[in-house]
Amino acid sequence: MATLTYDATGRLLFTKEMKKEYTLLMPQMLPVTFTMMKKVFELDGYKIDMLTTHHRGIVDTGLKYVHNDTCYPALLVIGQLIEAVNSGKYDTHKLGLLISQTGGGCRASNYIHLLRKALEKAGLSYIPVVSVNLSRLEKNPGFTIPLKTLRRLAMAMIYGDLIVWLKNQCLPYEVTKGQTDKLTTHWTDRIVTMFGNGHGLGKKEIRQYMALIAADYAKIERQGKPKPRVGIVGEIYVKFAPLGNNGLEEFLLSEGCEPVVPGLTDFMIFKINNRVVDVDLYKGSKLKKLLAGIFQRYIEELQQIMIDAVKTQPVFRPMGKFSDLQQLIKGYLGYGNKMGEGWLLTAEMLEIIHTGANNIVCTQPFGCLPNHVVGKGMIRRLKDDYPDSNIVAIDYDPGATKINQENRIKLMISNAGRINPFVREESSSDIAAAEKQPVTSSAAH
C-alpha cells in the first residue's frame, strides 16, 4: 500500500508511487470527447475508469454529502464519485478521484473542496483527489500534464467536436440504425491509437484525418425531410452531460428533432481569451497576455482546420468560428462578462439563431447566477431582436422532475410548428453566410 503524503497545508497528495498502483475515477461530461481524453491519460501510464452511471440514486447520494443549495453539477459529480467508491467494485485504498477545475469565479471552482469534505464525512479521507486544471491551482507529484499530453488532450477536444458535430447531423436521418454510433466508436478508438503512434497531431495530418472523418460520415446513407433543429446551450456540465440534463439529446431525437450542440472548443478558446481580456481591462502581465494569445491562435487554427474539413462535404453544415461569436455578441454583452459561461452562452444562442435553428433549450442549474444572467436573462432581448426565436430555459436541480422538464421542452417543440426552422437569417458573419444544404442520401454522391 502506498504511503500517504501530505503537503504543508494538510492536503493529501497523489504521489508517483500511487500512479503505479492506483485507479483514478473520472466523471464523464462529453461521452465522445471524454472517452478519448481518458485514453490519452492511459497513454501516460495512468489507470483510469470513467464513470457513466446515470440514475436517480446518484442525486440521492449527492444530497447526503452536498447541501442542496450547492451547484447542481457539483452535487451530481460528487454523488457519482462517492457512489462508485462505495460500490464494492474497487479497493478503496488504491483509488483516487480525478476532477477538472476551472479556477474561475464560479461555484465549480469549489468542487475540489466539496469533494474532499464529502470524503471526510464518508470516512474516506484517505482517498486522494486530483485536480485537472491549467491554472496551477494544485500540484501533485504523481500527476502531471506535460506538453505532449496537453497537445493530445487539445487534439482529442478538436477531433471530438468534429465527430459529435457530424454525428448529430447523421443520427436523426440514418437509414441503417446504429451505423452512425458504430462509426463514432471506430473513430474514437482509432484517433487515440494514432496519438499513441505519434500520428494525427501535426497540422498536415490533422487536415488529412479530419477530411477522412468527414468523408466517412458523408457515406452514411440518410433519408427523410429535414427535421426541426434544436440548439442546446447553457452551463457547461448540464449542456453536455447526459447525467446533468437527463439525456436531453436522446430525448430530442426521440421527439423527431435534430440536436445542435456547440462544441467544447469555443469554451476552451473563451477561457484562454479571458486571460487576454484580463490584461486589456485590468492591466497586468504583458507576457501572460502574449502567451495566452499564442495559445489561443493555435487552438483557433485547429478549429479552422475542423471547419474546413466539414466544408469538404457539402451535405454537412459547418460550425462557426470563435471570432464569429465575438462579433455576434457586440451590442449585447461586453467581453468582461466572463463568469461561468459568460458572454459565450448568449453568443452561442445568437449563433444558433443566425444559422436558422430558432429553437433553443437553455439548460441551467437552479441558482447558477452567472448562467441565469447570460442565459435566461438575455432571452427577452433576443426575442425582441429575433421575434421568431423559440427559446425555453430549463432549470436542473435535485427537486426538478424529468417529466416536467420534458413537458416544457415538448411545448417548445410544438411552438416550432408555427416557425419555419430552416430559414436562414441574413448576416455578414461567416456563420450566417454558410449556405444550408438539404439532407440527402449519400447514394446521390
Residue 162 CB: number of other CB atoms within 10 A?
28
pLDDT tens digit sequence for 187-215: 999 999 999 999 999 999 999 999 999 99
Please give the Cα distance from 304 to 288 (Å, whole number): 24
Q: What is the pLDDT of residue 339?
A: 86
pLDDT band at 107 (very low <50, low <70, confident <90, very high): low
Q: Is 8 exposed, middle or buried (0-12, 13-18, 19+ CB in 10 A)?
A: exposed
pLDDT tens digit sequence for 219-233: 999 998 999 999 999
Q: What is the pLDDT of residue 110?
A: 76
Q: Half-sphere exposure of residue 4, counting CA atoms within 13 Å on the CB side?
A: 14
298 pLDDT higher than 70: yes
Helix axes 376-385, 342-354, angle to 10 degrees: 30
439 pLDDT higher than 60: no
Q: What is the pLDDT of residue 105?
A: 66
22 pLDDT higher than 50: yes
Tell me the CA distances in angstroms from 431 to 79, 297, 306, 426, 444, one per residue in order. 39, 19, 14, 10, 26
Q: Read off the C-alpha cell for 422.
A: 430552416
Q: Are strands 359-365 and 229-234 parallel, antiparallel or unpaired?
A: parallel
Q: What is the pLDDT of residue 434?
A: 37
Q: Look at 15-29, 127-141, 172-186, 369-383 and tell me which has the smallest mean pLDDT.
A: 127-141
Q: What is the pLDDT of residue 145?
A: 87
> Collapsing DSSP states into helix, strand and coil, what is residue 117?
helix
For residue 27, what are the β-bridge partners? 51
The pTM assigned to this predicted structure is 0.88
72 pLDDT higher than 70: yes
* Average per-residue pLDDT for the chain: 88
Please identify which residue in the block is written with the cell numbers 484517505. 126
Mean pLDDT of 136-165: 90
Q: What is the pLDDT of residue 84?
A: 95
158 pLDDT higher than 70: yes
Q: Read off the C-alpha cell for 165.
A: 458535430
307 pLDDT higher than 90: yes
Q: What is the pLDDT of residue 400?
A: 86
Q: What is the DSSP letter of 92?
A: G
Determine which helix (DSSP H) or strand (DSSP E) holds 390, and give its type and residue range.
Answer: strand 390-396
Of the candidates 119, 124, 144, the one whose C-alpha atom is nearest the C-alpha of residue 132 is: 144
pLDDT band at 333 (very low <50, low <70, confident <90, very high): very high
Cβ atoms 96, 130 nearer than 8 A: yes
Alpha-carbon Rg for the chain in angstroms: 22
> Collapsing DSSP states into helix, strand and coil, what is residue 12?
strand
Mean pLDDT of 167-193: 96
pLDDT tens digit sequence for 403-433: 999 999 999 999 876 654 443 333 333 333 3
pLDDT band at 55 (very low <50, low <70, confident <90, very high): confident
Mean pLDDT of 384-396: 94
Q: What angle do CA 202, 203, 209 make, to 5 degrees?
A: 90
Residue 181 CB: number of other CB atoms within 10 A?
13
Residue 57 CB: number of other CB atoms within 10 A?
12
Please give the Cα distance from 344 to 350 (Å, whole number): 10
